């Protein structure tokens, strides 16, 4: 059995198991899984799954949508799902049929009488109305076909150029492409920008020997080129951390916009330009100088706001881009540890709008600690189980699949039993779960990336204040909260009143309960939930009552915002949800006093402090002497060389001495402070 077939079988088994456990249809489980994956990869931000998007006569079909407010692109989803024992080839005719049905839905949504085609109380009607209302500002459309079948070798993806006057493209995610993304351990799919027809003149500032890794060049992008690139790739053009920064802080800079519209001839002089990285670049020597012919995986690490502002001026304001250009500093990343260099470039390049450590959160030590704890801690055995399991935290994309890649069938089965896919946690899962319990449902409702940026701010501040908070007790709390979150996700689907918007209902119901518990100075009894590994029925019933009340508010005919998904993003909606009645008087079995919970956290912090000290000593003993010598030089250069610090560094350089735990912590912090200037 080939790797692709193994992946297909594993995926179908997972979908069947999820559908059986959650009482949902397998198509919904497939859409949830794939759209979460693509959202994490930056293909789009927020998305909505439409569960009733099919015509009874089979004339049109529609599985969901996403609207990118940054580049005004509407993505419409349709799925082609198969559950046969082995994957069938996906033919061009299959794709054409799906596109035809999806485009028929789009035409009805844009220009038809909505009441003639859609039930007014359905989520499909509300989605169509959102598309109708947003159509004036939509600049382009993507018809996204999602399939767990691999595209046949000789088959091609059909074209669809225009939808009611908007440029339109077809984007196929077949089994092979999805597997490549999920197994590559990359945060996103590669992008290739080809300039061979019109190479860009450039100046090479440094060219390392033995390849292009570390190559640095200066070039100039015509503004229209940047508009075209951003129009095609959207926020994927922005390095993930900068993308989160842009979404979290705001999009269009009024000063940049005014310069483009009123003083375009001075734009180049006024703007600081872009800083970008690439996996690879083809730079050739010509008769009149050097030229860039191709860039692989172009990522803007400084200049996201400039990019969005130029695009907005071109599309919304219809500004003329002729004569406007922008300078670009491009660095080709080395093969070894590219993410570390990206983080440094982003940190040093962003000065006007400072990118904080939270904005560089993908490289934060929080993830490393959480990963380490998740691999080490065994979950107590549930009733009906024969062995303990792990909740697997995936710090980097593809870790879960990569851990199984070279195992024998027997060992792979054992791994999956010890690390069930149902207990897999991604970074965006953690952000969604924790922010729900931290009473931020309006942020969770804004989508994975925007919510992740908010979560990053919270965790970074807490980490800087006292990182010992993130310990085994924190992990048990996370797992307990995740268990409740997923129980509620499953239970909602079985309710007779349920009509869609599950993601919004779950986060709001949990946030409302969390608000009530805190108001009464109580907390979840993490130890009780952890030991039992079962969420009491009464707890689930109380959450379902809250979810139903949220549902009534969300779909109220007199709601202030027409589209429920958009309403859920508003803080004012959270304020109204806080007024919903919430009972906790019969939840004593899983609640403890605030003081008791604080005592448990204090004990866990003490243990983490000891663990951290041992880790620091181990790190110090493994550090080469030349690193301590370099630190001495840096401290002298900056006038920070106090007798105490220099004495501790002498201990570190002496092979015959072992630093104390306190000294090791000082040395560890010094290394962290000057890590960008050390080359060990």
- Least confident range from 42-46, 345-349, 555-559: namely 345-349
Percentage of the residues of the chain whose pLDDT score is greater than 90: 39
| Beta-bridge partners for 77 | 64, 144
CA atoms within 13 A on the CB side of 127: 30
**Structure pTM?**
0.72
* Contact residues for 654 (Cβ-Cβ < 8 A; gap 6+): none
Query: β-pairing, 64-68 with 73-80?
Result: antiparallel
3-class DSSP state of 390? coil
Tokens read off for 166: 């908007």
pLDDT band for 388, please (50, 70, 90 cuts). confident
- Residue located via tokens 């500002």: 137
pLDDT band for 23, please (50, 70, 90 cuts). low
Tokens read off for 353: 């709008």
Q: What is the pLDDT of residue 338?
A: 56
Question: What does the domain layout of the chain look like in residue ranges?
Answer: 3-183, 192-355, 365-594, 602-677
Q: What mean pLDDT value characterizes the chain?
A: 85
- Tell me, what DSSP letter sits at residue 358? T
- Least confident range from 311-315, 631-635, 664-668: namely 664-668
- What are the pLDDT digits (tens) for 66-89? 998 878 899 999 999 999 989 999
What class, spelled out in words, does domain 3-183 have in CATH?
A: alpha beta
Torsion angle, alpha carbons of 502, 507, 510, 511, to 10? -150
DSSP per-residue string spanning 104-157: HHHHHHHHS-HHHHS-TTSHHHHHHHHHHHHGGG--EEEEEEEESSPBPTT--P
- Percentages helix, strand, coil for the chain (3-state, rounded to 5) are 55, 15, 30
pLDDT band for 635, please (50, 70, 90 cuts). confident
For the beta carbon of residue 636, count every other beta carbon within 10 angstroms: 11
pLDDT at 32 over 70: yes
469-474-477 Cα angle (round to 5)? 150
- What are the pLDDT digits (tens) for 231-276? 888 877 876 545 444 444 444 578 888 899 999 999 999 898 998 8
- What are the pLDDT digits (tens) for 538-597? 999 999 999 999 999 999 988 888 889 899 999 999 999 999 999 999 988 888 887 876
From residue 609, give the alpha-carbon distance in Å to each of 37, 375, 467, 529. Answer: 35, 20, 9, 25
pLDDT at 413 over 60: yes
Tokens read off for 31: 């859409």
pLDDT band for 9, please (50, 70, 90 cuts). confident
Tokens read off for 637: 């250069």
Top pLDDT among 291 and 448 is at 291
When pLDDT is averaged across residues 358-366 and rounded to a whole number, the result is 64
For the beta carbon of residue 27, count every other beta carbon within 10 angstroms: 16
- Tell me, what DSSP letter sits at residue 54? B
pLDDT band for 22, please (50, 70, 90 cuts). low
When pLDDT is averaged across residues 437-451 and rounded to a whole number, the result is 92
From residue 7, give the alpha-carbon distance in Å to each of 1, 34, 266, 422. Answer: 10, 14, 54, 16
């Amino acid at each position: 059995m080939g790797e692709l077939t193994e992946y297909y079988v594993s995926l179908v088994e997972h979908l069947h198991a999820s559908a059986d456990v959650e009482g949902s249809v397998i198509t919904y489980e497939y859409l949830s899984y794939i759209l979460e994956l693509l959202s994490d990869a930056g293909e789009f931000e927020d998305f909505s799954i439409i569960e009733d998007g099919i015509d009874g006569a089979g004339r049109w079909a529609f599985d969901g949508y996403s609207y990118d407010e940054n580049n005004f692109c509407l993505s419409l989803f349709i799925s082609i799902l198969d559950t046969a024992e082995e994957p069938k080839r996906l033919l061009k005719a299959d794709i054409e049929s799906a596109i035809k049905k999806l485009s028929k839905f789009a035409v009805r949504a844009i220009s038809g009488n909505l009441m003639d085609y859609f039930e007014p109380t359905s989520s499909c009607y509300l989605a169509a109305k959102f598309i109708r209302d947003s159509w004036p500002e939509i600049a382009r459309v993507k018809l996204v076909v999602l399939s767990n079948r691999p595209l046949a070798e000789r088959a091609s993806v059909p074209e669809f150029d225009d939808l009611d006057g908007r440029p339109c493209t077809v984007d196929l995610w077949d089994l092979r492409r999805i597997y490549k993304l999920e197994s590559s351990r990359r945060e996103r799919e590669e992008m290739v920008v080809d300039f061979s027809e019109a190479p860009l003149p450039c100046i090479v500032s440094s060219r390392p020997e033995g390849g292009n890794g570390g190559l640095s060049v200066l070039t100039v992008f015509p503004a229209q080129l940047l508009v075209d690139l951003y129009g095609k790739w959207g926020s994927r053009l922005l390095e993930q951390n900068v993308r989160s920064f842009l979404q979290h802080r705001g999009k269009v800079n009024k000063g940049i916009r005014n310069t483009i519209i009123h003083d375009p001839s001075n734009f180049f002089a006024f703007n600081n330009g872009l800083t970008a990285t690439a996996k690879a670049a083809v730079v050739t020597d010509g008769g009149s100088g050097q030229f860039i012919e191709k860039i692989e995986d172009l990522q803007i690490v400084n200049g996201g706001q400039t990019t969005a502002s130029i695009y907005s001026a071109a599309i919304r304001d219809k500004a003329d881009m002729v004569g406007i250009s922008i300078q670009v500093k491009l660095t080709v990343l080395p093969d070894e540890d590219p993410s570390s260099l990206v983080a440094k470039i982003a940190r040093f390049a962003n000065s006007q709008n400072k990118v904080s450590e939270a904005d560089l959160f993908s490289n934060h030590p929080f993830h490393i600690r959480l990963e380490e704890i998740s691999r080490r801690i065994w979950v107590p055995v549930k009733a009906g189980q024969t062995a303990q399991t792990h909740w697997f935290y995936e710090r980097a994309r593809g870790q879960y699949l990569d851990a199984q890649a070279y195992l024998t069938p027997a060992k792979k089965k054992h791994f999956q039993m010890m690390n069930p896919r149902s207990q897999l946690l991604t970074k965006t899962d953690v952000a969604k779960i924790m922010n729900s319990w931290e009473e931020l449902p309006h942020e969770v409702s804004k989508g994975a990336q925007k919510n992740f940026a908010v979560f990053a701010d919270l965790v970074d501040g807490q980490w800087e204040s006292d990182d010992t908070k993130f310990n085994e007790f924190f992990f048990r709390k996370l797992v307990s909260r995740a268990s409740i979150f997923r129980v509620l996700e499953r239970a909602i689907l079985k309710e007779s009143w349920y009509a869609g918007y599950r993601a919004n209902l779950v986060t709001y119901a949990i946030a409302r309960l969390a608000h009530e518990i805190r108001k009464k100075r109580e907390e979840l009894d993490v130890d009780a939930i952890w030991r039992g590994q079962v969420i009491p029925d009464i707890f689930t019933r109380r959450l379902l009552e809250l979810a139903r009340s949220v549902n009534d508010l969300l779909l109220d005919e007199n709601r202030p915002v027409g589209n429920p998904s958009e309403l859920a993003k508003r803080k004012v909606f959270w304020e109204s949800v806080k007024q919903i009645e919430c009972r906790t008087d019969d939840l004593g079995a899983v609640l403890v006093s605030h003081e008791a919970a604080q005592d448990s956290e204090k004990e866990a912090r003490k243990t983490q402090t000891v663990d951290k000290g041992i880790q620091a000593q181990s790190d110090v003993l493994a550090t080469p002497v030349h690193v301590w010598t370099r630190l001495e030089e840096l401290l002298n250069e900056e006038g920070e060389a106090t007798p105490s610090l220099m004495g501790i560094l002498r201990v570190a350089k002496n092979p015959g001495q072992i630093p104390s735990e306190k000294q090791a912590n000082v040395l560890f912090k010094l290394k962290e402070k000057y890590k960008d200037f050390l080359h060990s």
